Structure 1
Amino acid sequence: MGQLPTMPETAWATMRATADDRAARVRYRRALMLMVMTLVLPGSAQLVAGNRRVGRVATRIWVALIVAAVVGAVLAALDHEYAFWFVSDPRALGAIRLALMVLAVGWALLFLDAWRIGQPLSLSLGHRRTVVGLNGVLCFSVAGTLLFGAHLVGVQRSFILTTFSGDTVHGTHDGRYNVLLVGGDSGAGRWGLRTDSMTIASIDASTGKTVLIGLPRNMTDFPFAKGSVMRKAWPHGFNCGYPSCELNGVNTWVGDHLSLFKGVKDPGMDATISAAEGITGLKVSYWSFVNLAGFRDLVDAVGGVTLDVRQPIPVGGLGADVTGYIKPGVRKLNGFDTLWFARSRDSSDDYSRMARQKCVMNAMLHQVSPETVLTKFEKIAKASSQMISTDIPATEVDRFMGLALKAKGQPVATLSLVPPLVDTAHPDIALIRRKVDAAIRASEHPSSAAHHHRRKSPSTVTGGSIGSLHTGYAANDSTDLTDSC
């Protein structure tokens, strides 16, 4: 028999090198595939090539999370109040935050294990560097995203716990929530010393339709609610003489007579609420203090607010130099200019300013979208926590979020208790209560608007508001603030 031909040694070496290259490429693709599998379906890499017990646990957890997310999304789409509860309940937020942190750590460990299963030491140096780099990017990207989500959830939870610290849930009164909004410059501990504005937001508990009832800070000779401490101290009305017995002086008087309010958590607010109830005849459900410096930050956080500036609005004045003007036109204002638009009193009066404040409230309600809240959430939460203190309990936040969403798509009505309708020095309380009732009825039943018809908007503009002190300002008495601003 003849001998088989021998292959040159160089040919054998070439074949071995080619086989080694193919094997190296297979190992490289396998390592990459294990990481991709971990990204798409955590635990699948372990099921295929690693610890199957770990893989089964990881995949089951992942599938359970996907199912829970889908079910939650469906429930949120069908019932908005469920979604609002989910993002406002401190216990639910705490559980979500913990789950995100555990998921971040667990997923990162699965990526590291997938890298180990891929046998990085068997790869060429170039392939090894690529696998290590890609694994690091995926590991830190996924874990970082989840940890950032946990941070945002923590911010929301902290905001809810810090801001909504009330401990008593109040029901509706005649089917409405009446929330007293107080604006000022100072912190929550000093709010009454520098009260800037007072408004009762009367909200229909079913539809969210809202009537803003403005209380002038210079009103005097008004009664307090029956049965209140202030009613016992001032049975014939708050009429000790100008200016110490104006509405915004109630807290100052309370500070000098704290012995009358033993056991009352917040005497100044308690007294101011009794004044608002005595004037309007409404039962106040909750109160909210708005720090106006924080309001400026909130406007900046949402990217500004668009307002129709009808006249140059002075920045500064009344004891200080006017440093500039907000120019007329439909303009998107930042927080600084929005605050001055709402507060400026130079070349105008308190009632014109109240009208502008109502326009700002209306613009904020209708212009701040859910998309803006989601994309700028952390800034908004930070500004809001500095801006608001309230006795609304955390358990009621979801209810008011739902009402705010309903109110967003509806006209906001307003009634300010100012001249020429009301003589703030000697207010006709019976007239005020009739007007308040009529405004609320007109909001609930538009067909009854004849009881509270909107006056034709005056052609004059004074102090930046449509109307004048003599004829009244349109935004102070309107069934639709958008048309009056």
Structure 2
Amino acid sequence: MRGDRQVQRARRAQGARRARLQKRRQQRNQRYGRFIGLTALGSLIPGTGLIAAGKRRLGTTVLVILVALMILGLAVVVLIPPTELASYGGDRQMMLIVGTALAAGAVAWLLIALGTHRSLEPDGLPTGKRLAGALVVIVSASVVVAPMAVGSRYAFTQRELVGNISSSGASNTTPEVDTSDPWADKPRLNVLFLGGDAGEGRSGLRPDTQILASIDTHTGATTMISLPRNLQNFPFPEGTPLAAAYPNGFSGGGDAGEWMLNAVYANVPRDHPEVFEGVGDPGADATKWAVEGALGIDVDYFIMVDLAGFEAVVDALGGITVNVPRDIPWGNKSLPDGTCTEANGYIQQGDNQHLDGFQALWFARSRCGSDDYERMERQRCVMNAIVAKVDPATLLSQYQSLASAAGDIITSDVPADLFPALIELMVKVRTQPLESLTLDNEFFGSMGTTSADPDYDALHARVQEILTAPDDAATPDPGETGTPGDTTEATGQNADDAASDGSGAAIEHASDDADAEAEQPAEEPTEGATDEPAADEPVDAGSVC
């Protein structure tokens, strides 16, 4: 009997010990779960975990600072217009401040999360649970810290990009502007886009692509004027050193190819180095003066794109989409007799064709079977497609590769402190349709001249008329636009005929390119094709591309 009582007491004591151990285990689990939860919360919302750990004053201070910064950020987004916010991307000083602030914020956030973890961690935790707690800190904090770190990197990259592509030297042609209000006395901003390739087989750099973008600084409405590279006999603006050096316009003896618009970049600085002493890009300065003389309008800035690296930009964008008017050959060369070597392949004709960087470059530059004017049309197609592709989502996802590619291939004489205003203006440009004007055979024919010997007074008057026309008058009726007619392979006979009629459309110089060619005038539209708009009126490039 006595033994039974002892057994019962032992069993009750053992049960009590198991109950106490179970209770302690549950309390430890509850404490650990609370620790994990508060650690995650403190990593996501700095200050809350410190308050829970008993460090109320420190935690409250951190939380108040966080709320104040969030209110400040919200006020900036709400009160500052989006275009002005976008313009900060061109302010190198602002990008330095933003990049530094984001980097410092990310470090501070991570340190507070680690401090919260240490303050909340119960004593005596086994190694596995301590590591699990640290993992919670890393995962929770990274939700905020990683975007801040990426933002900091983007800010520093943007600052470097602006520095790389902005003016790197003196210039004879850039205007003096008040950067606080640069467009106050400038109703139109004229920017010359040059596309050149100084690669193997070329005699110096010759920008075969020259497109002037004339931008209404109030609305952002833009007219793109494509100049043929074989334009000749243009005057230089009065009062410039080159007007005195070439009193009869840019002309001379010898090979006619050395007196075309695309020859100015290399030849004028070579022949008149004294004019360009200390200038960062003498060829661009000379070309700006040449375009001013040809069109009769001021050219404010240039932007040069090295076409050899152009495909990297298109690839960074994920490719572009264009309408391909005919099968475009790639991998071949045009020969001096007007024939072409065999193509490696073709970019297939069709609407909404997706092109990668390699294909886009050939689509823009391919010469075989076309003349300069069709090629100019294709180049505008590519430019419009790039503008259409540069949306915020693409910029965010591909920014690093885009910035790297752009920094390597783009140069300009735009001052660094003008980039904020220029970016703000570009936001307006994206909301407007791009109109285009091609100075082709039909354009000059409508004035009774040719690109080899234009009437520059008439050209100046016509360009002024177009640029100052009301927006609704400058835009052609969509029903009047058509597609360019097909072109055929150039032949030596066609080239000779074109040269003999003085049009200048077929003039080409072998040193201009390893694949120099004799070109033919644009063919008449094929039978049944829709009527094209008047040659001297802007064309909505979207209707062509």
Structure 1 369/132 Cα, relative in aligned 2: closer, same or farther at 3 Å?
closer
Partner residue, 2:496 = none
Q: Distance in 2 between matches of 1:127 and 1:174?
A: 67
| CA-to-aligned-CA distance 1:312-360 (integer Å, 9 cap, x gap) | 1010321565211101112011111111111100111111101111121
1:414 and 1:479 in contact (8 A); partners too? yes
Residue identity in the other structure for 2:334: L
Partner residue, 1:317 = 333
Range with greater deviation from structure 2 (309-318 or 28-37): 28-37
Q: Distance in 2 between matches of 1:10 and 1:206?
A: 89
Residue identity in the other structure for 2:42: T
Q: Distance in 2 between matches of 1:470 and 1:245?
A: 25
Q: How many residues align?
A: 473
Partner residue, 2:214 = 202
Structure 1 403/260 Cα, relative in aligned 2: closer, same or farther at 3 Å?
closer
| CA-to-aligned-CA distance 1:19-66 (integer Å, 9 cap, x gap) | 211220221022112212213320221123144443233223311221
Q: Distance in 2 between matches of 1:429 and 1:405?
A: 34
Given candidates 257, 268, 273, the residue that maps to 1:243 is 257
Partner residue, 1:226 = 238
1:192 and 1:248 in contact (8 A); partners too? no
Q: CA deviation at 1:224?
A: 0.5
| CA-to-aligned-CA distance 1:272-295 (integer Å, 9 cap, x gap) | 111111110111111111111232
1:420 and 1:471 in contact (8 A); partners too? no
Structure 1 261/95 Cα, relative in aligned 2: closer, same or farther at 3 Å?
closer
1:461 counterpart SS class: coil
Q: Distance in 2 between matches of 1:232 and 1:18?
A: 101
Q: Distance in 1 between matches of 2:237 and 2:106?
A: 55
Given candidates 6, 9, 25, the residue that maps to 2:13 is 9
- Structure-to-structure mapping, 1:88-103, within 5 angstroms: 88-103=90-105
| CA-to-aligned-CA distance 1:157-189 (integer Å, 9 cap, x gap) | 1112221236875455761000011111139xx
Q: CA deviation at 1:449?
A: 6.0
1:322 counterpart SS class: coil
Given candidates 346, 350, 373, the residue that maps to 2:368 is 346
1:178 and 1:200 in contact (8 A); partners too? yes
Partner residue, 2:473 = 447
Range with greater deviation from structure 2 (119-128 or 371-380): 119-128
Q: CA deviation at 1:463?
A: 6.2
Q: Distance in 2 between matches of 1:453 and 1:256?
A: 47
Structure 1 136/262 Cα, relative in aligned 2: closer, same or farther at 3 Å?
closer
Structure 1 104/459 Cα, relative in aligned 2: closer, same or farther at 3 Å?
closer
1:299 and 1:334 in contact (8 A); partners too? yes
1:184 and 1:292 in contact (8 A); partners too? yes
Range with greater deviation from structure 2 (86-95 or 142-151): 142-151
Partner residue, 1:435 = 462
Range with greater deviation from structure 2 (352-361 or 81-90): 81-90
Partner residue, 2:119 = 117
| CA-to-aligned-CA distance 1:202-249 (integer Å, 9 cap, x gap) | 000011111111111111111001111111100110111312111111
Partner residue, 1:374 = 396
TM-score, normalization by structure 1: 0.89
Structure 1 459/411 Cα, relative in aligned 2: closer, same or farther at 3 Å?
same
Partner residue, 2:492 = none
User: Does structure 1 residue 162 correspond to structure 2 residue 164?
Assistant: yes
Structure 1: which 4+ aligned runs deviate by more than 4 Å?
A: 139-142, 166-169, 171-174, 452-456, 470-477
User: Does structure 1 residue 462 correspond to structure 2 residue 487?
Assistant: yes
Residue identity in the other structure for 1:237: G
1:81 and 1:399 in contact (8 A); partners too? no
Residue identity in the other structure for 1:328: Q
Range with greater deviation from structure 2 (128-137 or 453-462): 453-462
Range with greater deviation from structure 2 (66-75 or 334-343): 66-75
Partner residue, 2:275 = 260
Structure 2 unpaired stretches of 5+? 1-7, 336-340, 445-449, 490-520, 526-530
| CA-to-aligned-CA distance 1:101-130 (integer Å, 9 cap, x gap) | 212222222222222122344335554343
Partner residue, 2:22 = 18
2:223 counterpart SS class: strand
2:485 and 2:523 in contact (8 A); partners too? no
Q: Distance in 2 between matches of 1:14 and 1:463?
A: 96
Partner residue, 1:300 = 315
User: Does structure 1 residue 289 correspond to structure 2 residue 310?
Assistant: no
1:366 and 1:409 in contact (8 A); partners too? no
Q: CA deviation at 1:459?
A: 6.9
Partner residue, 1:359 = 381
TM-score, normalization by structure 2: 0.80
Q: CA deviation at 1:441?
A: 3.0
Q: Distance in 2 between matches of 1:454 and 1:412?
A: 17
Kindly, what percent of the aligned residue pairs are identical? 33
Q: Distance in 2 between matches of 1:32 and 1:369?
A: 41
Given candidates 127, 130, 133, the residue that maps to 2:132 is 130
Structure 1 unpaired stretches of 5+? none
2:485 and 2:524 in contact (8 A); partners too? no
Partner residue, 2:512 = none
Q: Distance in 1 between matches of 2:370 and 2:86?
A: 41
User: Does structure 1 residue 66 correspond to structure 2 residue 92?
Assistant: no
2:40 and 2:140 in contact (8 A); partners too? no
